Amino acid sequence: MSFDLAARLAARRTEHLYRQRPLLQSPQGPQVVVDGQPLLAFCNNDYLGLANHPQVIEAWQAGAARWGVGGGASHLVVGHSTPHHELEEALAEFTGRPRALLFTTGYMANLGAVTALVGQGDTVLEDRLNHASLLDAGLLSGARFNRYLHNDAVSLAKRLERACGNTLVVTDGVFSMDGNLADLPALARETRAKGAWLMVDDAHGFGPLGATGGGIVEHFGLGQEDVPVLVGTLGKAFGTAGAFVAGSEELIESLIQFARPYIYTTSQPPALACATLKSLELLRSEHWRREHLHMLIRQFRRGAEQIGLELMDSFTPIQPIMIGDSARAVRLSQMLRERGIMVTAIRPPTVPVGSARLRVTLTAAHSEAQVQLLLSALEECFRLLGALELDHA
């Protein structure tokens, strides 16, 4: 018996689902060089344009000069340095919670939190469209795992009736492929009524959402009693890398004791924490970034609707254009790239079969003129592709 990897790869190609890594040959930003080609990119998650900010870079350089370039050990051995501690305190203050805990990646934060809180004899309930890291965490926890209908508090309530043991309800704050928000007030109401806990992964909400960039919990005016477990990633609007979980003293101490992805990994470089402290300062003080971003979102949605594109119900920087067929989505992405525009085609299994899409992401570093270039290219590509399809019909 042997693994027939060639057949599996061939099937991926046939189904127009084969994935390849574009080679980025420039810093992140609207203007990039990918595979040797200068492109105007609308596909990264650097929502506030901080990934290449001079002050953030300077903070990293100064941090490396003082603290070195490696964490050196796990947090529980001798890898928990002063910059890590200061960043955790700043994130706790930012989220309005007693404590925050740093993780090396968002995937590890989700895996660590879920598996530390529930296990055999418990229940974990998740939105059907949750990020893969959340779904994997639920499956790996050993708890009874079930998924409720997307953003449906009634469906959640029915599953809560059948839950056993400690019950954790898990949802994305902003759904990464649709751009829509979780109905957090309704989900929190049902969860609290049954004595369960709600965990929110607000990876795409911190920065763009809320009066001060505090994310979906701030957007809805909710507190720790509504959302006891709050997860955020630092590689998106913060512009750096890593993740955190914010919550009560007891929650954070429990994660330190029981979250295996936290316990058994080397800490992130201290200099990275220095950079994130600076990006958090900019996120909180430079409100114009969020205001400019929301203006661009309105501009894009108006223009796309005038062209007749099928958008989704999103007022976040994630603006998917529904295509349906994977081959058609790939072709449109290629046509845009031929015109100097980079927009990624998202296909199954990342999204459900028949819902392939172009995933446009906007950032505060984009200009109105660049968004107009995107709209003009989209209009031309959809018109040309429609004509080609009629010719072959």
d(CA 198, CA 187): 8
Catalytic hit among 204, 219, 292, 366: 204
User: Is-catalytic flag, 176?
Assistant: yes
Is 176 annotated in some ligand binding site?
yes
CA within 13 Å, CB half, 168: 30
d(CA 228, CA 255): 13
Q: Which residues of 263-301 are buried (b: 16+ CB within 10 A; e: fewer)?
A: bebebbbbbbbbbbbbbbebbeebeebbebbbebbebbe
Is 204 annotated in some ligand binding site?
yes
Is 292 annotated in some ligand binding site?
no
Catalytic hit among 80, 84, 219, 236: 236
d(CA 36, CA 68): 33
Backbone φ, ψ for residue 274 (5° rounding):
-60, -45
- DSSP character at residue 180: P
Q: Residue 243 forms beta bridges with which residues?
A: 103, 233
Catalytic hit among 133, 176, 333, 355: 176
Is 289 annotated in some ligand binding site?
no
Q: Quick one: tokens of 1?
A: 């018996």
Is 331 annotated in some ligand binding site?
no
| CA proximity to 52, closest of 240, 303, 315 | 240
Is 350 annotated in some ligand binding site?
yes
Angle at 316 between CA 311 and CA 320, to 5 degrees: 30
Angle at 8 between CA 324 and CA 140, to 5 degrees: 80
d(CA 215, CA 233): 11
Backbone φ, ψ for residue 103 (5° rounding):
-125, 160
User: Is-catalytic flag, 236?
Assistant: yes
Residue pair 102/293 in contact (Cβ under 8 Å)? The answer is no
Does the bond joining 349 to the residue before it have cis omega, within 30 degrees of 0? Answer: yes
d(CA 347, CA 236): 21
Torsion of CA 249, 250, 256, 261, to 10 degrees: -110
| CA proximity to 252, closest of 228, 218, 226, 236 | 228
Q: Which residues are annotated as a binding site for pyridoxal 5'-phosphate?
A: 106-107, 176, 204, 233
Q: Which residues are annotated as a binding site?
A: 19, 106-107, 131, 176, 204, 233, 350
**Residues designated catalytic:** 176, 204, 236
Q: Which residues are annotated as a binding site for substrate?
A: 19, 131, 350
